[in-house]
Amino acid sequence: MVNNQVAFLGLGVMGAPMTVNLAHHNLSIKAWNRTNDRPWLENVTKSGATIVNSIREAVKSASIIFTCLGDIPDVEEVIFGDDGIVKYAPPHSIIVDFSTIGSQGARAIALKLKSHQIRFMDAPVSGGDIGAKNGTLTIMVGGDKQDFEEIKPYLEMVGKNITYCGEVGSGQAVKLCNQVLASLHMVALCEALQLAKTQKIDPNLIVDVCSTGAAGSWALTNLAPKIINQDYQPGFMIKHILKDLRLVKEVMENPDNYPGINLAQQLFNQVAQFDDAYLEGTQAMIKAYTDKNG
């Protein structure tokens, strides 16, 4: 049974459209963001969700609390900080965290929450801002199986492919593997487009032809056109993929055994040094190639 009272904390590029999709299912949502000057917050208000000024206002009557934040310190601050969730959330409420914080981070937070009688599910997502807007996200969930069944109806409001991966931290473990694939897809995409340029082939032809065959991918279909049009607006920022690759390396036994990951990290780091590129979308990796090759 769906509880009508929920909270959503973190109204960024992903969190805002996810909140909108939840609101469209007639939920009573109290939402909170650290800053209230983001242009997309107007869409959240128009959807019927109520943006409040404090975490306390958002969570005090919510049994389901969604968080969608940046990094481990952000999640820990929102949950355990001086004005955090644990001070105001009802006992036995459940936090569903859509952030990417790694399996170790998720397990540590879940363990700490036990003393506060609050449940925790890690539920990182994939699909970018496009998936968030369309409600077609892939969601990888870790935690208690019974808790998963409780939150699944909500996840179906924001996602299309929802998978229970196992105990707490398992969703994050799968997400880190997903980020490896996404990072290396971007390397392949950039190099294919550069090779097309070298051969004086229209890069749009690469998208049209290759996306229908064995080389097809989400990145080729959705991000190649942005690269071609020099559109580097973020659906997923370079700073976030660098954070995710840092988390990947934290669970590696031997980083030297992963040359592809090391290359992707090197290229993203290189582009992050360019003006404003740190806050651009991952498709801005192409700048590492154009900087070298023109």
Question: Residues 177-206: pLDDT tens digits?
Answer: 999 999 999 999 999 999 999 999 999 999
pLDDT tens for each residue of 16-25: 999 999 999 9
Q: Report the topology of domain 5-167.
A: Rossmann fold (3.40.50)
pTM of this structure: 0.92
Residue 237: pLDDT over 90: yes
d(CA 8, CA 148): 18
Percent of the chain at pLDDT exceeding 70: 98
For position 211, what pLDDT does the model report?
Answer: 96
Question: Is 173-293 CATH 3.75.10.10?
Answer: no
In the chain, what is the greatest distance between 2 CA atoms, to the nearest angstrom? Answer: 63
Residue 3: pLDDT over 90: no
- 152 part of the active site: no
Give the active site residue among 175, 239, 243, 287: 175
SS3 62: coil
Q: Which of 33-42, 65-74, 111-120, 153-162 has the lowest mean pLDDT?
A: 33-42
Q: What pairs with residue 97 in β-bridges?
A: 67, 122
Residue 47: pLDDT over 60: yes
Residues spanned by CATH 3.40.50.720 within the chain? 5-167
Secondary structure letter of residue 217 according to DSSP: -
Residues spanned by CATH 1.10.1040.10 within the chain? 173-293
